Amino acid sequence: MAMVFDEFGRPFIILREQESQSRVRGIEAQKSNISAAKAVARILRSSLGPKGMDKMLQSPDGDVIITNDGATILEQMDVNNQIAKLMVELSRSQDYEIGDGTTGVVVLAGALLEMAETLLDRGIHPIRISEGYEVASRIAVEQLQKIAHKFEFGEGDVEPLVQTCMTTLSSKIVNRCKRSLAEIAVKAVMAVADLERKDVNLDLIKVEGKVGGKLEDTELIYGIVVDKDMSHPQMPKQIQDANIAILTCPFEPPKPKTKHKVEIDTVEKFETLRKQEQQYFDDMVQQCKDVGATLVICQWGFDDEANHLLMHRNLPAVRWVGGVELELIAIATGGRIVPRFQELTPEKLGRAGLVREKAFGTTKDRMLYIEHCANSRAVTIFIRGGNKMMIEETKRSIHDALCVARNLIRNNSIVYGGGSAEIACSIAVDAAADKYPGVEQYAIRAFAEALEAIPMALAENSGLQPIETLSAVKAQQIKENNPCCGVDCNDVGINDMREQNVFETLIGKQQQIMLATQVVKMILKIDDVITPSEY
């Protein structure tokens, strides 16, 4: 039952037809849920790996996004089914915690649910399947720990980090520039990292983009880039050793809190008011000059008179700078954000070695570079590209690379890619299944088979024979006892991922398996689906 209103504002009640109400219970509910989750996993399956296909998504506004990033695809999709929304949340969790593996985690969850459906048909209770999956998940995580390799790196040797970031970028649209982008991502993370505490604050890395130029023109700036220019065209475009006043108070006379009215009936009164306003502006500018500021960055705008006065008093200014950017500028320059002119002191000024305005292309778009800051722990990755779509996709790819580098600083353990880790876990889980005499054994074997869905999808997306390739790699791993053997997606003739320099972070892969298992267990335990009409 719902209440709505007609065009005259009169309420009337709509009664839903009782026949349209639906309630699904028991095995039917579980199969319905599994079917919805599998549909989402099937969409992402073809996007997995370096040769994965891209998806084109069109927003209601007509904006087009082309990407193969799992989290972005699911975020942009219009999903109504509640179980499908769980899969979207699964991908979002992986993206938030790890940053990479958003497609793989959904494909793995879909494979686990597909195997669970077969077990349900055999009459095995969902709780026993969940218990078996939990046991198998622990075995797989332990196996990943065993086959992981540690590598040492420092500020002078970041090549292992670059190689791992290149693996992440190789499956993106920007893979032709993966080496340069990986180096930029690693340098940015190392600039803001605290290696002693093994911690990285990614909020200190600002990713900015501007249409125009080539992808190869993307650069790392040890400072902040603001999409603004000097408030007056005659102000200097370059300031050496700048002392920056960061203000959140506007250059304008204060407004009374109450309703007010000013009556001006003579020229003398108008002239007096104008002089008072000018004096007010003059005092503000003088306060900035007195504390030694050579540049003012203001969150609010100021009118033409204040702007004219700032230019004549040789005080360059930038207006309408956003709050987040102000905070980054304050962190980078070591300054304090000042809410009132009366609180402005020399100690609260930020310091930067160089502030310059840079023009781009024929349209003369301008941006402000604040470089050589007192605290250089805030950096900016400035992306160039031919159109907005390319810049947005590059931002998503850079985000994944930054997260991978951050995870390696937290824990410098890696496993090898190309599906080699999943195959090694599958072999270990399958071997351990014999130790469990109960019904859980079937679920554990099903988990082992589901793990093989990742390398099979990689082979399929690379144009190889999936079953034949998987069987050959699995046999090679068992025969040589080499957990680094994976699917040769790049078709270079070598299955050993160590020689191909294809790495993945250990914590990313472990998180992938654990998150997928938890969501699958949650879906299997739902045995009653109630539509909103029955609440």
CA 239 to each of CA 198, 311, 322, 426: distance values in angstroms, whole numbers, following the listed order: 36, 14, 21, 61
Does 103 participate in catalysis according to the annotation?
yes
Give the 3-state secondary structure of residue 3: strand
Does 102 participate in catalysis according to the annotation?
yes
Percent helix, strand and coil across the chain, each to the nearest 5: 50, 20, 30
Inter-residue contact 291 to 349 (CB < 8 Å): yes
Inter-residue contact 355 to 369 (CB < 8 Å): yes
- Which backbone phi and psi does 256 adopt, to 5 degrees? -60, 150
Query: One of 95, 100, 229, 400 is an active-site residue; which one?
Result: 400
Query: One of 67, 69, 164, 430 is an active-site residue; which one?
Result: 69
User: Distance between CA 438 and CA 433 in Å, rounded?
Assistant: 10
Give the 3-state secondary structure of residue 464: coil
Nearest of 399, 406, 371, 370 to residue 383 by alpha carbon = 399
Does 67 participate in catalysis according to the annotation?
no
Inter-residue contact 202 to 406 (CB < 8 Å): yes
| Residue 323 host element (H or E) | helix 323-333
User: Distance between CA 513 and CA 520 in Å, rounded?
Assistant: 11
Measured in residues, the chain has a length of: 535
Query: One of 72, 102, 218, 380 is an active-site residue; which one?
Result: 102
CA 283 to each of CA 256, 289, 306: distance values in angstroms, whole numbers, following the listed order: 19, 10, 11
Please name the amino acid found at residue 5: F
Q: Mapped to the 3 state alphabet, what secondary structure does 120-143 carry?
A: HHCCCCHHHHHHHHHHHHHHHHHH
Please name the amino acid found at residue 515: L
User: Distance between CA 354 and CA 487 in Å, rounded?
Assistant: 49
CA angle 405, 406, 409 (to 5 degrees): 90
- Which residue has 């540690």 as its token pair? 150
Query: One of 67, 72, 100, 103 is an active-site residue; which one?
Result: 103
User: Distance between CA 121 and CA 477 in Å, rounded?
Assistant: 32
Residue 476 class from Cβ within 10 Å (0-12 exposed, 13-18 middle, 19+ buried)? middle
pLDDT tens for the chain, 535 residues long, are: 455 666 666 676 665 555 555 676 778 888 888 888 888 888 888 888 888 888 888 877 778 888 888 888 888 888 778 888 888 888 888 888 787 778 889 999 999 999 999 998 888 888 899 999 999 999 999 998 888 888 777 777 788 788 888 878 887 778 888 889 999 999 998 888 887 888 888 888 888 888 878 888 888 988 888 888 888 888 888 999 889 999 988 877 767 667 777 788 888 888 888 888 778 888 888 888 888 889 999 988 887 777 888 888 888 999 888 888 888 888 888 889 998 888 888 898 988 888 998 887 666 678 888 888 876 678 889 998 888 888 888 988 898 888 888 888 888 888 888 888 889 999 999 988 888 888 888 999 999 999 989 889 988 888 888 888 888 888 888 888 888 888 888 777 778 888 887 878 888 888 888 999 999 998 888 877 766 544 3
Which token pair is 445? Answer: 């074997």
The residues, ordered by sequence, that sit 6+ positions from 99 with a Cβ below 8 Å of its Cβ are 399, 400, 402, 403, 404, 406, 407, 508
User: Distance between CA 323 and CA 444 in Å, rounded?
Assistant: 52
Angle between helices 388-410 and 159-169 (to 10 degrees): 140
Strands (E), 73-158: 149-150
The residues, ordered by sequence, that sit 6+ positions from 303 with a Cβ below 8 Å of its Cβ are 251, 252
Inter-residue contact 185 to 402 (CB < 8 Å): yes
Does 164 participate in catalysis according to the annotation?
no
Give the 3-state secondary structure of residue 395: helix
H-helix segments, 313-387: 323-333
User: Distance between CA 250 and CA 302 in Å, rounded?
Assistant: 6
